[in-house]
Amino acid sequence: MKKGMTKVSVLYANGEGKTFDMDYYCNKHLAIVGNLLGDALKGATVEQGLNSDAPFAAMGNMYFESPEAFEQAFGPHAEEIMGDLPNFTNIEPKIQVSKVLV
């Protein structure tokens, strides 16, 4: 994604008793999010933690033109999107809103 964009990272921390269904996440949750956010969502990536002490089981990243574009697209659907989380994980994710510098 290009310089200057807004990246929203959803970070699922590893921990004892934590579960994460990567198949559901990639194949169902992402489609739900994509449909709800529409054209405001400029791209998305998913990464799975590999190292045994990886801080995060999974990281999902969404790209928007600006923080405002994210808020406008996400706000009205926040409840529905967050309501899907128990279908694939018991982890409460950390949300990071970043500016892409490089």
- How far, CA to CA in Å, does 89 sit from each of 1, 5, 74, 100? 27, 28, 20, 28
36/44 with CB nearer a second copy: 44
Q: How far is the CB of 100 from a second copy (least distance, A)?
A: 6
Asked if 75 and 49 count as a contact pair (C-beta separation under 8 A), the reply is no
35/98 with CB nearer a second copy: 98
Instruction: Give me the amino acid identity at 58.
Output: A
Applying CB under 8 A, the residues found at the interface with a second copy are 1, 6-7, 9, 11, 22, 26, 30, 44-51, 54-56, 59, 67, 94-102
Q: How far is the CB of 64 from a second copy (least distance, A)?
A: 11
59/73 with CB nearer a second copy: 59
Distance CA 70, CA 10 (A): 13
Asked if 65 and 35 count as a contact pair (C-beta separation under 8 A), the reply is no
Q: How far is the CB of 93 from a second copy (least distance, A)?
A: 10
